[in-house]
Structure 1
């Protein structure tokens, strides 16, 4: 379960759209279900995860915050395996099937049953989302002088499917085909019964449907030509979509009349082909090079009524990239990783060069020093606005002609102490991201393309600096880790906040996380703790609604006051207990977990009622004590 109010992955000052999530080579654009409460990546199919959050190796690019490279399981070549699993929101199955001594297949699928049966866990999450809250789903505007009766009927579910076929035709070749599909669906019916008090309108009926998700398929061929040479050929196509339909009707004199109909659709599709070559040219010297091409196709459209196309905008772009990397151990203790990545995007002028350098020095077998620096560019933007309560809250966009991409300059230093029993790591970093786009003054994604409102899209820079400390106990019946992060994320936009520096919306200066795992026989218990700085916000007495020369209304802060205050500290403890047992000749794992064990009243953020004078603010509280049950059965 995600950290309610903290949904998304924020790495060293970056935002979720600045992370490259890769599953078996495929880009995943929507990485969560249920508005950030659950991961869209099924852990039952994950074999390995590589996280790069400093200067990336030259083989990676396209995002400025981090790279999360996930390798899926290949499936067993020895025996058939079937696992069934369920919890209080969803159920699923993982199936592994040997096809021969050299080939296998794995399939894992899960689906929520929240559209058929609502558990207490679902009710808790739903209440959080609808209580004037996190996403304001189902929120209604109530006229001050009119009373009415309302009915809200939600219908929500999600599912995802992962599959992978692996074939080893000989000792030199590995061929695999992977596919993924994930979808979320939210249907909302809202009925407002005014009786006869509201200008002749007896009833208003609103029907909304929102669908979003990913699909992808990739083919990978790895061949080892000799003991020193290996190649990899990869091709994939992935797609993200977000569709929102809204139909509203008036009931006047018992006659149903259309009031407002709209549809908005966003889609991004990429088709990628790349080839990598690895050479081992010495005992401690490796070279790597590669080329890739990606065709991006994006579309955003808005339709009003049954046939009026209000807006339909498609942008296609081609990205060509190449890289070279040299990993050389100059001595038993010193290793250098030097690389260069070049990018050329059809919607931008010129080429972009991304040099990378990492240095590793081992003082002893346990003590290790590292330093890295590099430049990375990102060409994709994601429209995001907290004022949007449903529909296309997130829209992926390609830049217009001649727009400069985001660019980050990363510097990090670190030292590690690693033994078989304990690990201690300390990193300090400084990241400067230029050409960041801010959409917070826009209400709808379409506004980015309309001349009158596109002037409200601001460009600026963001600086993130801090340190990360990790202590981990690796073995024994009592294991665990503790991580402390100190970071400051500051933004400068010449046309915002009077040009003065302000803290980013996602700045949380201090964060301490810990996990304690206790294992004894068939019992496992885990206790997780979190203490974090509260979210920053702008005091409502420093906010105003301003009308510009084009009659567009925006919410702006007084110069120098944006994000000048901070909400109270967030602290929470979660606990889980799992028992493995043999029952009815089958292997079972039965677990109970409790989110927010001590029912802490943590504030996620503040919402504003802009129709009141003065503005009314409401503290949005995260989930309280929430228990859940999980069962996994191995057939």
Structure 2
């Protein structure tokens, strides 16, 4: 069927070409706008005409044609307008006629190639859009800024280059210019000259790609959005449609109803497993080192594998190739510094360091945030609760470092080494002792708590543009994530009559090691066909252990390899219609099984304003995060490698369809999606409720999920104002057949409605912004309690039972964040000082509700059997913060 469909389209294109050669036209235009006359040719005769609206905006025509061919009609319409035309493959291209003293076009349908770079630093710019003005013909620069544009109509055409955060540039070609390895430099979108701010109209905060569910945002344009301390990459992503913003943690990237662990987050090709510092207050990445961000929410190509939800692909800066730059920044919680230094003409170095000073200075802001985020953290929960433990004032700090060096041996090659390390440290202790000499009594109680977690990664890359048609990218990467938690409680009572001692020690560790070899290639066959293909080899080792008093309670130690091969073919039926089809094949060493993933997408540019797009894909995830939702101790998830012993491979199918409309500064993007999911795993506290035939699963039960919804974004730019409104309508359901008879019920990521309203304005040197977030009530689980009584009805013990279908909704979530910043400009640099207010009207939003175990324990020894009660986990309230940044 797919071959038949493609064949029909090919014949249609050939037929259209023949029609333009043989068409005979009879019509009279009386004072008709030239644009309307050209559009008439398209609507009445199917003749596609490409033109620049500005060139013909003021031209009208009065002319009559009787049985004229297309050449004669065009000559008549363009007479006395200063315009001329070419007919290329049945399509008419209209452009300004060259002046009499200049050369006429000498080349037609030729190939243009080159590189896009920053004019100040020389840094290459990936994902820049290069197109022929007045047409839909275009391409995108690769990760090293290289591009190839096929079939440029004439060597006097105008080329337009767009890149987020930079001024749009137009280049008028001429026969004397080189058309191979052309260097195009772009200027940053905002330049301060003699106290005058010049800003280009293309400075969009968010760009929507023709590719389905793919978006990019301008880190520089969004750096003044409200935050808790400094510009935060992952919080910015949460403002986009389909990415939940009601989870206030930076790591909470729930994309289209899926778990954060089901997203692939890449920095220079290596994986980041944990996305935040300070329990979610700060992003794990320093925004000063980020050059480009691409987010794929669904339906992404076969190049990406190993995850079943979304992809965030981050490219870090390589350091200035022409000029050294330095930046420093501070807020009420941390300091950071970045240096970008060229070494000669071919080597550049970037180094960045960030550290909180919360272990030395514990401000009121820190104390307020720490109390809230420590209580609400999903990853770390004490195994024993005691009100006295809350009196501990622990030491806490985080650090991270980025390093990247790039070597450019030639214009076609780049060799780079990128490294990242980030770590959080938490340590607290309390000792309480007393002695009574007359009674010979000694008492001592102590608690120590230590928690460390962090990411690490390194990537070595060689990228080469072999020729205009072939580009390759070879990578060796290594990633790691580890979390180590230790809780120790000791009690001692000595007297003349007795001696009592108690010791409880709890340790939990989880470590992921991920080594990868990646060889990615792009080969452009001609102006219609191109191929992406490559091989990936991954080796994982995952260790998880929980122990109490030296005795191992749970342990996982898995090693495995995944080998993958992928290929995607892109076919442009014409400049308006593209089909991409491919597959990814994965070989799982432990399971001795291959997993096949077909991918298909298409987009059709109906006009310069309207684009239609759709995609289908199958995806697998071999690293599974087990959901450990414990009613006593809260959520304590852990990573495990899929195997044949209870940890299945996660599988999803994506179905996406959408449309994008752009006109007069408006951008409207609408997408509908449906995702099926299988292989999710949850920790089951009470295994004797599992069906008898499923008892071999032990504490782990498998399930499936369904996610469906609609994402809408409307973005508008008016002069110095930019903003957007996004709305998401979604459902996220799950089912565990072994324990709930296959009933689908809302997952904890289910949120029916979410609205983000973001506004930014530049008023002279002042940048002001406001963001309002609304989310309908998220679900939480209620529990059943089973009491064990003796013959007299006295409660001797109880057990809390999870009822997955007992879902109750929290109150609606909403907050308003505000930010104001003042731009500084001095002789050798620039800066910014500002203030941000998080949750400005102090809304008491609730993250979830936890069962009150201590209230239930009061029933032991009585005949009272109370129903469970719950306590709210309140999120961050009114929180002002200040920041300052300098670049020189």
Give the TM-score of the pair, scaled to structure 2. 0.65
Structure 1 residue 562, shift from structure 2 partner? 2.5
The residue that corresponds to 1:361 in the other structure is: 604
- Which residue of 2 is the match for residue 229 of structure 1? 470
Could you tell me whether the CA contact under 8 Å between 1:149 and 1:192 is conserved in 2?
A: no
Query: Over residues 553-578 of structure 1, what are the superposed CA-to-partner deviations in whole Å (9 max), with x where a residue is unaligned?
Result: 9743447x432x21111111000001
Taking a change above 3 Å as real, the CA distance of residues 142 and 102 of structure 1, as seen in their structure-2 partners, is closer
- Could you say which residue in structure 2 is the equivalent of 1:422? 666
Please, which of 612, 616, 634 is the counterpart of residue 869 of structure 2? Answer: 616
Residue of structure 2 aligned with 1:382, choices 610, 625, 628: 625
Of the candidates 158, 164, 169, which is equivalent to residue 398 of structure 2?
Answer: 158
Query: Which secondary structure does the structure 2 equivalent of 1:513 belong to?
Result: strand
Q: Distance in 2 between matches of 1:268 and 1:590?
A: 39
In structure 1, what is the equivalent of residue 712 of structure 2? 469
Q: Find the aligned partners of 2:541 and 2:798 in 1 and give their Cα distance.
A: 32
Q: Count residues with an aligned counterpart.
A: 612
From 428, 448, 455, give the equivalent of 1:214.
455
Partner of 2:419: 179
Equivalent position of 1:448 in the other structure: none
SS at match of 1:465: strand
Q: Which residue of 1 aligns with 2:765?
A: 522
Higher relative contact order (CA 8 A, sep 6+): 1
Q: Indicate which of 401, 410, 430 corresponds to 1:170.
A: 410
Mapped partners of 2:799, 2:312: distance in 1: 36
**Which position in structure 1 is the counterpart of 2:429?**
189
User: Per the alignment, do residues 341 and 130 of structure 1 end up closer, same or farther by CA in structure 2, a change over 3 Å counting?
Assistant: closer
8 A Cα contact 1:134 1:620, kept in partner: no
Q: Say if 1:130 and 1:139, in contact at 8 Å, map to a contact too.
A: no
Among 290, 305, 319, the residue aligned to 1:61: 305
Q: How far apart are 1:584 and its partner, in Å?
A: 9.0
Q: Is 1:202 equivalent to 2:430 in the alignment?
A: no
How far apart, CA to CA, are the structure 1 residues paired with 2:665 and 2:326?
A: 34
Moved more, 382-391 or 371-380: 382-391
Unaligned 5+ segments in structure 1 are: 444-450
In structure 2, the gaps of 5 or more residues are 1-227, 229-234, 236-244, 688-693, 789-796, 857-865
Q: Select which of 582, 597, 600 maps to 2:843.
A: 600
The residue matched to 1:507 in structure 2 has which SS?
Answer: coil
Moved more, 255-264 or 482-491: 255-264
- Corresponding residue for 2:504? 260
Q: C-alpha distance in 2, partners of 1:328/1:342?
A: 21
Shift, 1:205, TM fit: 0.8
1:241 partnered with 2:482:
yes
1:49 aligns to 2:310 (yes or no): no
Q: Deviations over 1:256-295 (max 9, x none)?
A: 9671234332211011001122111011321111011111
Cα distance in 2, alignment partners of residues 303 and 558 from structure 1: 28
Q: Offset of 1:101 from its aligned partner?
A: 1.4
Change (3 A) 1:157 1:386: farther
Specify whether residues 74 and 442 from structure 1 end up closer, same or farther in structure 2 by C-alpha distance, changes over 3 A only.
farther
Report deviation, 1:223: 1.0
What's the secondary structure of 1:202's corresponding residue?
Answer: strand
Distance 2:530 2:257 in 1: 32
Tell me how far 1:224 sits from its aligned partner.
1.4
Give the Cα separation in 1 of the matches to 2:748 and 2:842. 26
Distance across 1 between alignment mates of 2:389 and 2:538: 53
Closer/same/farther in 2, CA of residues 139 and 526 from structure 1, 3 Å limit: farther
Match of 1:78 among 316, 319, 322: 322
Q: What residue number does 1:115 align with? A: 359
- For residues 193 and 490 of structure 1, do their structure 2 counterparts lie closer, same or farther at Cα, with a shift above 3 Å needed? farther
Question: Is the CA contact 2:531–2:570 (under 8 Å) kept in the aligned structure 1?
Answer: yes
Map Cα deviations across residues 89-130 of structure 1 (whole Å, 9 max, x no partner): 111101111112122111111111111111222122122145
In 1, Cα distance between equivalents of 2:390 and 2:316: 47
- Following superposition, the deviation at residue 149 of structure 1 comes to 9.6
CA distance in 2, matches of 1:325, 1:371: 16
Q: Match for 1:506 among 749, 752, 777?
A: 749
3-state DSSP of counterpart to 2:288: helix
2:615 to 355, 372, 375: 372
**Residue 491 (structure 1) aligns with:** 734
Distance 1:300 1:124, change over 3 A: same
- Secondary structure at the aligned position of 1:169 is classed as strand
What is the deviation of 1:203?
Answer: 3.2
Q: How does 1:122-141 map to 2 (within 5 A)?
A: 122-129=366-373, 141=385
Q: In 1, Cα distance between the equivalents of 2:480 and 2:378? A: 27
Output one character per residue of 1:324-366: Cα deviation in whole Å (capped at 9) or x when no partner.
Answer: 1001111222100111000011122421100000010011011
Normalising by structure 1, report the TM-score: 0.90
Larger strand share, 1 or 2: 1
SS of structure 2 residue aligned to 1:370: strand
- Distance across 2 between alignment mates of 1:386 and 1:628: 34
Per the alignment, do residues 231 and 141 of structure 1 end up closer, same or farther by CA in structure 2, a change over 3 Å counting? closer
Is 1:348 aligned to residue 591 of structure 2?
Answer: yes
Shift of 1:229: 1.1
Could you say if the C-alpha distance between residues 553 and 136 of structure 1 is closer, same or farther in structure 2, counting changes exceeding 3 Å? farther
Partner SS, residue 55 of structure 1: coil
Q: Please list the CA deviations of residues 428-487 of structure 1 after superposition, one character each: whole Å capped at 9, or x if unmatched.
A: 0000001111126389xxxxxxx9995231111110111000011135211111100000
Contact 2:782 2:803 (8 Å CA) reproduced? no
Rg (Cα) greater in structure:
2
Q: Aligned partners of 1:570, 1:603: CA distance in 2, in Å?
A: 8
Q: 1:420 to 1:228 in 2, by over 3 A?
A: farther
Point out the more displaced range, 572-581 or 258-267. 258-267
The change in CA–CA distance for 1:127 and 1:369 in structure 2 (over 3 A counts) is same
Match of 2:277 among 20, 33, 57: 33
> 1:589 offset after TM fit, Å?
0.7
Residue 11 of structure 1 and its aligned partner are, at CA, apart by 0.6
